[in-house]
Structure 1
Amino acid sequence: MMFTNLKSTWKRLLAMSMLAATTVAAPAADLRIGIKSEVTAADPHVLAPSNRNVWLHVYDTLVGQDATLRAVPRLARGWRAIDATTWEFVLRPNVTFHDGSPLTAEDVKASIDRAKNLSGPRTYRTYLQDVDSVVVADPLKVHIKTKEPSPALPDNISLIAIIPKSKAQADEDAFSRGDAAVGSGPYRFSEWARGERVVLVRNDKYWGAREPWDKVVFQFIPKEPARASALLSDAVDLIDGTHAGMADAFASSGRVTQASTPSYWLNYLGTDQHRTSSPHVSDVNGRALPANPFQNLKVRQAIHLAINREAIARHVMKGDAVPTAQIVPAGFFGHDAALVAPAGDLAKARALLVEAGYPQGFKVTLHCPNDRYLNDAKVCEAIGQMLTQAGLKMAVQAMPYSVLLSRVAAAEPDVSLYMLGIGAVTGDSLAPLRAVVQSYDKKKGQGANNYGRYSHAEIDQLIDKAATAMNPAERENLQRSAARLVAQDLGIIPVHHLKSSWALRKGLTITPRADGFTFATDVRDASVK
């Protein structure tokens, strides 16, 4: 969402918080979290980030994700590829579900089969499309057979909650009531009040380290000012989705700290590189051009260099974004540390346009969302101004994301230059490379979000090789090579990675996560030794 000029709002919130400062805080062993997105389903195999944020406390997974979304052991203490199309996962011994039943390979098979076959529009089937079968090798060993070599399978499996086999046939109502809400995670399901809160209680028989919180309450507070007010008045202990506009009010209160980290979410510019005549491009007098300028690398380079990413991050985003020249941030699989966002260089951008054959520039419309990403319309306006200074005749059209998506995803996209976002939800650059950079091929499921129809044979080959390379070092080198070629050829023009941010009452600490999830397991009271 986009937020503007909140200073007066924060002043009122601060005054309200001072009046409420005598509010009695919750017991130290309880943790109250204000989150912007409410849970929409209790079934852990129904796909929605807000659901997964909460239910990962209740349901464990075979493979976990650390703060930069790298794979780490969870219910599986280890895994390996035993051949090109078979992954073996060895389970931890002596793990029990909340109902006291032991975790076995049968439960894992039932869970993956259920997630793969669950009906409905929001499922994890896409992440399990490589899975051919799940075989129980012994009570604590599972073999997952894939249709072809699938090196990213452990990352994809990290998204799948493990439930008891006895609950595999349960419906949504059974999970909502709590009858089927049985996991092996550090917290147990206690209550779900739709649209209001989820209450969890500590699982004292958890296989891992004992959690300090007796009870965790996720309070759904969608509006940012209301979340800030709840924190400042001690109604909650921490909140997610904070932004730079809150900083002054929080600092003035003297009772709040903030934490942030670059997220997996990239904002980038896409260009129409498929058609010889693009619909929203003309010469400076409004006449059709003889060629599509975005098919000219020098034009793409001019746009790339005209964007002063540091200025956008500092003045438009107020520190809520990190300039970038590639799809994934530092720490992610496939990130290339040598690829650094260039400084804005208007003179070089103008020179490139002259070299490309456009000494007077040309007219073009930049299409953007105005309700999808933080400050999205403002960012587009800033980019439009920078491209104007470089010599282009710019128009910027901001619209609801749903409207923009219908235009870019049409059989003949009704855009020439656009801003969108893509996220590496598994911490791996492979999926977004396949989605926004690889040549569009509907039958193969490639280039699904490559709306500009960019195509580069060598990049396609690198991505294809990475998609079947079972050696992690080899695969990461292939993806880094693809990233370098994308940066050189500007298949897309990265702008910045948005930040994930939190605010906490003083005394609490949090490990910031690139997925923006707020885990009670990452929150600690520094005063408790």
Structure 2
Amino acid sequence: MNAFHFRAAALLFAAPLLAGTARAENLTIGLSAPVTSIDPHFANAAPNSAFARHIFDPLTVRAPDGRPMPNLATEWTALSDTQWEFKLRPGVKWHDGQDFTAADVIFSYERAPKVPNSPASFSTSLRTVTKVEAPDPLTLHITTSAPTPNLPIDLGAIAIVSRHAGENATTADYNSGKAAIGTGPYRLLSYSSGSSIEVARNEQYWGEKQSWERVNFRIIPNPGARTAALLSGDVDLIAAPPATDLPRLRGEASIRIFERQGSRALFLSPDFSRTGSAPFITDNDGRPLPKNPLLDLRVRQALSIAINRQGLAERVQQGMAEPTGQWMPPGAFGYNKDVGVPAYDVAKARALLAEAGYPQGFRITLHASNDRYPADAQTAQAVAQMWSRIGVGTTVEALPFATYLTRLAKQEYSMVQNSWGSTTGEAGSVLLNIVHSFDAAKRLGASNDTRFSNPELDARIAEALSTMEPAEREKLVAAAVAESVRELALIPMVMFKNAWAARRPLTYEPRMDEWTLAMGVGRP
């Protein structure tokens, strides 16, 4: 019997809200990236998951500093290395008044890995779950195929949807509002893809009553337009104020800035799925190369050290990012202090290309989003210029995130600029979702869209994340991080800092996970 036992008081988890305000008020938030679906199981993408938190609840949540907290589950216990017991919160009602029970959790865990056409599955969070049983309506017993010490954290990624509303429901039914019946603090009123979402306060919410009667989320991917909307008073708070506007915003008496170091890394992912010619890679005369050059570690090393990460952080990201050689900030679980920032070295990069058989370089297209991350298209353009200096002529194709993600899931690219926010607060999230070999049956590598595969590293990842003793687990996770970086399964570039700007007197509790939540907006 494992001694690990977590017991939390049945605290209501809610971020600071308007204090002492009797009147109902409305709030307008300007989001920096689109919410591609209201279906909380459709795409494991931060904008979708953050918005889903308003409508749906998971068993556990993360506090702004990343700590796990109780939510629909009030306490949990490891009965053994492979069995957990979760006690569910009593008295919770769905938006339509029906009772929340363990049957809804079981339904949600069966549904989440099987959503049709999902471009980024949540299946990895349930990878070891083999059986979910309900001894009574407010108790769950979850059996896993291997020790899974992070299970309570992993389950925080899976929103719980109602069985009675969700049975036979499609993603379109959630987008229309028909199936969007949750237990969360707000109810869905309307959803216009890529434009706006409106929600209303859930008067029967089990937690602290929300002060906002209605919240309107406006999708404003253009950074300048976001700033203009805030300054004009069209919105009350914006996510990701552009770094170039921060000095001006700090000087505005009517504006306040809220910041926190984030857990999102921006990186490049080379294609590993093709041994022969690869799309968007040619010789300097435009002819397809007979083999995929990205499979050669020396080529990946050359591309990595040709990137001036400090320049990206200081000039392109305007100081709102830090150069990195891994995907977690210092102090995070699994951060490896021995993995430094790769030195920028054009001469060595050219030598590595020549050694790999490409003394004249080649041509490549770098695909990126243009509306998802801070300065995403600009960063891709800067990388393209850096690669041109070592003879790799690079064209950038920057796309709207929804289109980019759909094509990425189909392995249509050869080199992508991608990102991952480790909302679990530890390095294992990237190891499981992106570094581990893709295996749909085992629910592993769900976001490994470029199909890196190393069976020996897979085994080390499995060992690390099934080790129950925390200190030993962290040691093994850090070692797997180092091996991933040596292999350049992905090429980390910068770690983002998170920022929000609000009109006074509003406040916002900044979050490590970058989520923008109405529940975090308050007034002194």
Q: TM-score range, shorter-chain basis?
A: 0.7 to 0.9
Shift of 1:245: 3.2
1:321 is aligned to 2:317:
no
Amino acid at match of 1:78: E
| CA shift digits 1:64-87 (9 cap, x unpaired) | 123355532212122233234322
* 1:266 to partner: Cα distance: 2.5
Measured in 1, the distance between the counterparts of 2:455 and 2:139 equals: 41
For the Cα contact (< 8 Å) 2:34–2:221, is it kept in 1? no
Give, in whole Å, the separation in 2 of the partners of 1:206 and 1:445: 33
Structure 2: distance between partners of 1:309 and 1:153: 35
Please say which of residues 104-113 and 437-446 is displaced more in the overlay.
Answer: 437-446
State the distance in 2 between where 1:38 and 1:277 align.
Answer: 34
Q: In the alignment, does 2:160 pair up with 1:159? A: no
1:394 is matched with which residue: 387, 392, 395?
392
Q: Tell me, which stretches of 5 or more residues in structure 2 are unaligned?
A: 1-22
Counterpart of 1:518 in structure 2 is: 516
Kept in 1: contact 2:464–2:477 (CA 8 A): yes
Q: Which residue of 1 aligns with 2:71?
A: 74
Matches within 5 A, 1:468-483: 468-483=466-481
Cα displacement (A) at 1:238: 0.3
CA contact (8 A) 1:368 1:380 kept: yes
Distance 2:153 2:335 in 1: 16
Match of 2:10 in 1: none
Shift, 1:453, TM fit: 6.0
Q: In the superposition, relative to structure 1, how do residues 96 and 409 fare at CA in structure 2: closer, same or farther (>3 Å)?
A: closer
Alignment equivalent of 2:59, drawn from 62, 72, 76? 62
- Give the aligned partner of residue 250 of structure 1: 249
| 1:33 corresponds to | 29
How many Å apart are 1:46 and its aligned residue? 4.5
SS at match of 1:135: strand
Q: Identify which of 105, 108, 126 aligns with 2:105.
A: 108
2:305 aligned partner, one-letter code: L
Map of 1:423 onto structure 2: 420
Change (3 A) 1:202 1:144: same
SS of the residue aligned with 1:158? helix
Q: Which residue of 1 aligns with 2:238?
A: 239
Paired residues of 1:281 and 1:363 also in contact (CA < 8 A): no
2:31–2:221: 8 Å Cα contact kept in structure 1? no
Residue 337 to residue 179, structure 1, CA distance change in 2 (3 Å): same
- TM-superposed CA distance for 1:144, in Å, is 1.9
Describe the SS at the equivalent of 2:314: helix
SS of 2:55's equivalent in the other structure is coil
CA distance in 2, matches of 1:495, 1:154: 30
**Deviation at residue 233 of structure 1 after TM alignment:** 1.7
Deviations 1:203-234 (A, max 9, x none): 47533x454x2424123233434433322122
Look up the SS of the partner of 1:341 in the other structure: coil
Determine the structure 2 residue equivalent to 1:13.
none
Contact 2:102 2:140 in 1 (8 A): yes
Give the whole-Å Cα distance in 1 for the aligned partners of 2:36 and 2:254: 32
Shift of 1:124: 4.5
Return the alpha-carbon distance in structure 2 between the equivalents of residues 516 and 67 of structure 1: 9
Higher mean alpha-carbon deviation, 166-175 vs 513-522, is at 166-175
Matched position secondary structure for 2:157: coil
Consecutive unaligned residues of structure 1, counting only runs of 5 or more, are: 1-26
**How far apart are residue 320 of structure 1 and its match?**
3.8
Deviation at 1:140, TM superposition (A): 2.8
User: Could you give the per-residue CA deviations for residues 33-67 of structure 1, whole angstroms, max 9, x where no partner exists?
Assistant: 22245656555454465444333123222111233
Q: Secondary structure at the match of 2:464?
A: helix
Question: Structure 1 378/128 Cα, relative in aligned 2: closer, same or farther at 3 Å?
Answer: same
TM-score between both structures, scaled by the size of structure 1: 0.75
Per the alignment, residue 334 of structure 1 pairs with 334
* Secondary structure, aligned partner of 2:489: coil
Query: What number of residue pairs does the alignment pair up?
Result: 489
Cα separation, 2, equivalents of 1:106 and 1:153:
19
Identity percentage of aligned residues: 33
Specify whether residues 380 and 275 from structure 1 end up closer, same or farther in structure 2 by C-alpha distance, changes over 3 A only: same
Match of 1:506 in 2: 504
Amino acid at match of 1:258: I
Matched residues in 1 for 2:453 and 2:128: separation? 24
Task: Find the counterpart in structure 2 of residue 227 from structure 1.
Answer: 226
Secondary structure of the residue aligned to 1:56 is helix
The one-letter amino acid of 2:28's match is R
Shifted more, 118-127 versus 312-321: the winner is 118-127
Aligned residues of 1:273 and 1:294 also touching (Cα < 8 A): no
Aligned pair in 2 of structure 1 residues 33, 216: CA closer, same or farther (>3 Å)? farther
Asked if structure 1 preserves the Cα contact closer than 8 Å seen for 2:102 and 2:139, the reply is: yes
Deviations 1:322-359 (A, max 9, x none): 321113344654333443324434466567678x588x
Cα separation, 2, equivalents of 1:293 and 1:177:
45
Tell me the equivalent position of 2:206. 206
Find 2:458's aligned residue among 457, 460, 464: 460
Deviation per CA, 1:92-138, whole angstroms, max 9, x where unpaired?
34545556655443443344345456656477556445433321123
For residue 237 of structure 2, what is the amino acid of its counterpart? L
Q: What CA distance in whole angstroms lies between the structure 1 residues aligned with 2:240 and 2:187?
A: 24
SS in 2 for 1:134: strand
Change beyond 3 A, Cα 1:305–1:214: closer
Tell me the equivalent position of 1:23. none
**TM-fit CA distance, 1:255:** 1.7
Partners in 2 of 1:514 and 1:419 — Cα distance?
Answer: 25
- Looking at structure 1, the residues matched to 118 and 76 of structure 2 have their Cα atoms a distance apart, in angstroms, of 31
Q: The residue matched to 1:268 in structure 2 has which SS?
A: strand
1:243–1:320 Cα contact (<8 Å) kept: no
CA separation of 1:63 and 1:441: change in aligned 2, threshold 3 A = closer
Offset, 1:494 = 1.3
Distance 1:68 1:476, change over 3 A: farther
What is the aligned partner in structure 1 of residue 430 from structure 2? Answer: 432
TM, length-normalised to structure 2: 0.76
Larger mean CA deviation between 503-512 and 111-120 belongs to 111-120
Higher mean C-alpha deviation, range 164-173 or range 32-41: 164-173
RMSD: 4.3
Partner Cα distance (2:233, 2:459) in 1: 55
Cα–Cα, structure 1 residues 102 and 397, in superposed 2: closer, same or farther, change >3 Å? same
C-alpha change, 1:499 and 1:466, in structure 2 (3 Å) is same
